[in-house]
């Protein structure tokens, strides 16, 4: 289980560490050439930045910029990785359907 330690600011609270569990995500990005890349992460903003800095997955390095089109939260790292493997086995058509269904439920501005 991944844990991060954060410190509260102010008074004596700074002496007491607060533990927070990191969230795990499975995501799909659309690359500049229109292809999809699926991955998992525990920091989605950082991961998209890494992809767009051409320091992420080898597949996306020559296909920047990438755009986040699908995001799914998982309870554990293992679940996120298993879901990534499931999505990678899907056809493009099934991935497009998955993305569309997510947008239909949460709206175009929410992934």
Higher-confidence residue: 44 or 14? Answer: 44
Residue 90 has pLDDT above 60, yes or no: yes
Q: How far apart are CA 73 and CA 87, in angstroms?
A: 14
Domain boundaries, the chain: 23-106
The string of pLDDT tens digits covering residues 23-77 is: 999 999 999 999 999 999 999 999 999 999 999 899 999 999 999 999 999 999 9
- 52: region left, alpha or beta (phi > 0 left; psi from -120 to 50 alpha): alpha
Q: Check residue 64 and give its pLDDT.
A: 96
Cis peptide before 65 (omega within 30 of 0): yes
Least confident of 3-12, 71-80, 98-107: 3-12
The predicted structure's pLDDT at residue 102: 80
Burial of residue 59 (CB within 10 Å: 0-12, 13-18, 19+) is: middle
Report, at the CATH architecture level, how domain 23-106 is classified: 3-Layer(aba) Sandwich (3.40)
């Amino acid at each position: 289980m991944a844990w991060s330690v954060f410190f509260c600011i102010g008074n004596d609270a700074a002496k007491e560490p607060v533990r927070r569990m990191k969230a795990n995500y499975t995501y799909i990005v659309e690359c500049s050439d229109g292809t999809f890349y699926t991955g998992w992460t525990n920091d989605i903003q950082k991961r998209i930045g890494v992809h767009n800095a051409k320091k992420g997955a080898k597949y996306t390095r020559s296909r920047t910029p990438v755009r986040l089109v699908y995001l799914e939260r998982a309870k554990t790292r293992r679940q996120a990785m298993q879901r990534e493997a499931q999505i990678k086995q899907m056809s493009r058509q099934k991935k497009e359907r998955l993305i569309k269904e997510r947008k239909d439920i949460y709206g175009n501005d929410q992934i």
